[in-house]
A and B are shown apart, each in its own frame.
Chain A
Amino acid sequence: MKIIARFEISYYQILNETSEIVGTLPSFAKDNEHLLRLYRIMVLNRVFDTKAIALQRTGRLGTYPSSLGQEAVFTGIGDAMLKNDILVPYYRDYAAMWMRGIPLSDILLFWGGDERGNLQGGEDLPFSVPVGSQGLHAAGIATALKIRQEKRAVLTTCGEGATSQGDFYEALNIAGIWKLPIVFVINNNQWAISVPRSQQTAAATLAQKAIAAGFQGEQVDGNDVLAVRERVDVALTKAREENIPTLLEMICYRQCDHTTADEATRYEPKGVRDLEWKKEPIMRLRRYLENLKIWNQILEEQLQKECTAEVEKAVQAYLATKPAPASDMIDYLYAKLPHTLFEQREQIKQVGDQCHG
C-alpha cells in the first residue's frame, strides 16, 4: 500500500469574532475609506432586507429571501469583482448586485412579480431560482471568455444545499478539465430551508469538493468581510490571469427564515441563532472601526438615516411602477414572434385591456 493522494483545506479569517486582527491585513484593509465603504454597504443591505420583509408582511411584496447575517459574503464579492467580470448569482446576492449597478428597486420588482426587475445587469445573469443549475451557465460563460482570450472572470454563487445537486459537480468538473476562469462561492449558511448542513453531505467541508474536480477549495469566515473580500480577490485574480478555477466555502449563518414563506422555529434548535449572532458580520466590523476611532454612535445614526432614505427611495420607485402591458408576457418569448402566435398575442392583449379598462 502507498498513499497516492492527500489534500488539505485552509480556513481563512482576518477579523475574528471579537474584532481583533488575526490574519495578515491585506492592503485594501489599511485604507480606512475602503473599510467604511464595506461597512456602509453591509448596513444598507440589512436595512434593505428589513424593509423588504416589512413590505411582504403588509402585502406589498411577494415571497422574499432575506440575506440577514450573510451581508459580508455578498459585500465582499461585490467589492472584489471588477466591473467587466461577470456575476452569476443565486438569489440572496443583493449587496453584490447593487454594487454592480442593479437598483434596489429592480430587486423589489423581481420579488414583487415583475420580470422587468431582470432588465438591468449587462452581461450579469439574473437571480437563479432552480437550485444549483447556474454553476453550469457560469462555466459556459467562462468558456466563451476563454475562447475569446479575454482577461475576465466569472463568479457564481450558490447555497450549501445546492452542492448536493448533480449540476454543481458537473460545473466544478468541467471548470477543472477546461481550466476555466471561474470562482465558485458557496454561501454556507448552514440551512437549506429546514435541512441542516450535516444532512447535505458527510464530507468534513464543502470546500474539498473542489479537490475531486482538480483544483483548490478553501473555507473562509463568511462573517468576516475582510477575509471574504481578500479571498475572492485572490481567486478572481487567479481566474483572470491564469485560468485557474477556485471554490470558496463561506461559513456563516442564516439569521432569518429561508424566505418569508418559511418558519424556522419549526426546525431550528432553540438558542443556536443567538449563539451565532455573536459572530455576525456588521457588529464585528463596527467594533473594529470604533477601535480605529473612525466610527461612533453619531456616524452610525447618520448612516442608518441615509440607508433608510436610500431604501425608501427604492420602495417608492418600486411601488410607483405600473404593471407592464399584458402582451409583455409573450412579446419577449422569441426574438421575433412566430406568426403562429399572433392570434394568442391578440387574445392576451384583449384580456389585458379588459382588466385595465
Chain B
Amino acid sequence: MAEITLVEAINQALAYEMQADPDVILLGEDIGKDGGVFRATVGLLEKFGEERVRDTPLAESMIAGLAIGMAMQGLKPVAEFQFMGFTYPALDQIINHAARMRNRTRGRLSCPLVFRAPFGCGIHAPEHHSESTEAIYAHIPGLRVVIPSSPQRAYGLLLSAIRDPDPVIFLEPARLYRWAKQEVPDDGKGLPLDRAFILQSGEDVTLISWGAMIKETLSAAQKLKKDGISVEIIDVATIKPLDKQTLLTSIEKTGRCIIIHEAARTGGVGEHISAELAEQALFFLKAPIIRLTGYDTIVPYAKLENYYLPKEQQIIDAVQRVLEFA
C-alpha cells in the first residue's frame, strides 16, 4: 500500500464518506476546480459533481450559516475555511447557532456538520494565516474540537467527525499536511472523538501535545530515549470533549507532566489541562506541571515565526528539569 500525507488522508476520508453517504455535501472557497488552497478536495468535484462540491462566494459567515441551514435539513455539510484566521467572521454563526441549535430546541433541530480549517504557523504564510486559537472553540459548549496529527488519525477522525450528529471544528495542522507519510487503509473505519491517543508508552514523564507540536514532541522523545529516559506521549487529538481519564491515568503512572502546544500561553487549552491535573492528580505529581507554549503575542510573520514555536531542545530541557525532582 502506498503511503500518503495528512492532506491526502483528508481527501481520502472525504471521498470515502461522500461515496458512502449522499447527504455529505462539501462547500467552501476554491474547493471545486482548484481543489482547495491546500488541495484537500482535489478531484472531488470531478467525482461527485457541482451539486455536492460547492464553490461559494468569498464570505465565511455565509459559509457557516449555509452549512447550519443545510444541516438542519438533514444534510451533512463539510465546510472548508481556507485558514483558521478566516473562521473569525463565522464566530457568530458557530457560537450563536451551530453550537446551540440542538440544545435550544431540546433536540428538535440539530447541526450535524463539520467546519474544517488548516491551522498553525511554520509554513511561511502571509499575515493572519498562522493562527492557533483552538481554545476559542474549546470554550464553547455544544461543539467538538478535533485536531489530527498523523495521516491515519486524520482519516479516522474526519470520518467520525462527519458521522457525528453534532457540530465539529476540525483543525488540520498545516505544518504537518505534507510532513510524514503513512499507509492509510481506505476501510472507512472511524476513530473515537472522545479519546486521547497514547502514541508511545513510557514510565518517567508524560508529554501531552496535539497538532503540529506532536512533531517536536516525537523527536524530543527519540533523543531522550538514547539517554535512557522513558517518555509517554499523548496526542490529545480531541481537545473537546477532553479525555481527562487517559491523561490522569498516565500522570498517576509517571508523576511528571509537560504540556506542549503552539497556541499562545494565556487561556490556552494547556492551562485547562494543567488545572484539571493539578486538581485531580496533585498527590501523584512528583514535579510541577510544565507548559511549553507559544508566547502571548501575535504569531510573527515568516521571518520570526520559527522563534515563536516551542523547540525540541526546550522539551528535552523541560524533561530534564522535571526529572530532577525526586
Contact = CB atoms under 8 A, between A and B. Distances in A.
Interface of A: 115-116, 118-121, 123, 125-126, 130, 133, 135-145, 147, 166-167, 170-171, 173-174, 177, 328-329, 332-336, 338-341
B279 to A, nearest CB: 12
A335 B110 contact: yes
Contact of B56 (A120, A174, A329): A174
Contact of B68 (A130, A136, A174, A332): A136
A167 B91 CA distance: 12
Given A139-B66, A140-B71, 19 more contacts: A115-B106, A118-B108, A121-B108, A123-B73, A125-B72, A126-B105, A130-B96, A135-B65, A137-B72, A140-B70, A144-B73, A147-B75, A166-B59, A173-B62, A174-B57, A329-B103, A333-B103, A340-B241, A340-B244
B267 interface: no
A146 B142 CA distance: 29
Contacts of B103: 115, 329, 332-333
B238 to A, nearest CB: 9
A228 B77 CA distance: 35
B242 interface: yes
A138 B97 CA distance: 13
Contacts of B89: 166
A333 B69 contact: no
Contact of B106 (A138, A173, A174, A332): A332
Nearest to B164: A335
A136 B73 contact: no
A337 to B, nearest CB: 9
B159 interface: no
A304 B77 CA distance: 48
B34 interface: no
Given A328-B106, A332-B103, A143 B66 contact: yes
A171 B63 CA distance: 10
Contacts of A335: 102, 110, 164-166
Nearest to A132: B92
A147 B25 CA distance: 10
Contact of B69 (A138, A329, A340): A138
Contacts of B66: 136, 139-140, 143, 174
A145 B244 CA distance: 41
B141 interface: yes
Contacts of B71: 140
Contact of A144 (B57, B59, B69, B242): B69
The 5 tightest CB contacts between A and B, nearest first, are A140-B69, A136-B65, A144-B73, A170-B62, A338-B241
B51 interface: yes
Contacts of B164: 335
A296 B62 CA distance: 51
13 contacts: A115-B105, A130-B92, A133-B93, A140-B65, A141-B70, A147-B25, A147-B75, A170-B61, A170-B62, A174-B59, A332-B106, A334-B165, A336-B165
B61 A136 contact: yes
A133 B62 contact: no
Contacts, number: 132
B105 A119 contact: yes
A129 to B, nearest CB: 8
Nearest to B244: A340
Interface of B: 25, 51, 56-57, 59, 61-62, 64-75, 77, 89, 92-93, 96-97, 102-110, 141-142, 164-166, 194, 241-244
A115 B108 CA distance: 11
Contacts of B110: 335
A173 to B, nearest CB: 6
B236 to A, nearest CB: 12
A294 B241 CA distance: 63
B241 A341 contact: yes
A137 B68 contact: yes
B54 to A, nearest CB: 8
B4 to A, nearest CB: 30
B102 A333 contact: yes
A141 B107 contact: no
A118 B107 CA distance: 10
B142 to A, nearest CB: 5
A52 B193 CA distance: 45
Greatest chain B CB density within 10 A among A173, A332, A339 is at: A332
B107 A332 contact: yes
Nearest to B70: A140
A130 B97 CA distance: 9
Contact of A174 (B62, B105, B166): B62
Contact of A333 (B51, B70, B141): B141
A332 B102 contact: yes
B271 to A, nearest CB: 17
A100 to B, nearest CB: 14
Nearest to B167: A334
Nearest to B110: A335
B106 A118 contact: yes
B99 to A, nearest CB: 9
Contacts of A119: 105-106, 108
A125 B111 CA distance: 12
Nearest to A328: B106
Contacts of A118: 104-106, 108
B166 A334 contact: yes
Nearest to B112: A335
A81 to B, nearest CB: 17
A137 B77 CA distance: 13
B243 A137 contact: no
Contacts of A130: 92, 96-97
A218 B51 CA distance: 30
B142 A140 contact: no
Contacts of B70: 140-141, 143-144
Contacts of A142: 69
A19 to B, nearest CB: 40
B65 A167 contact: yes
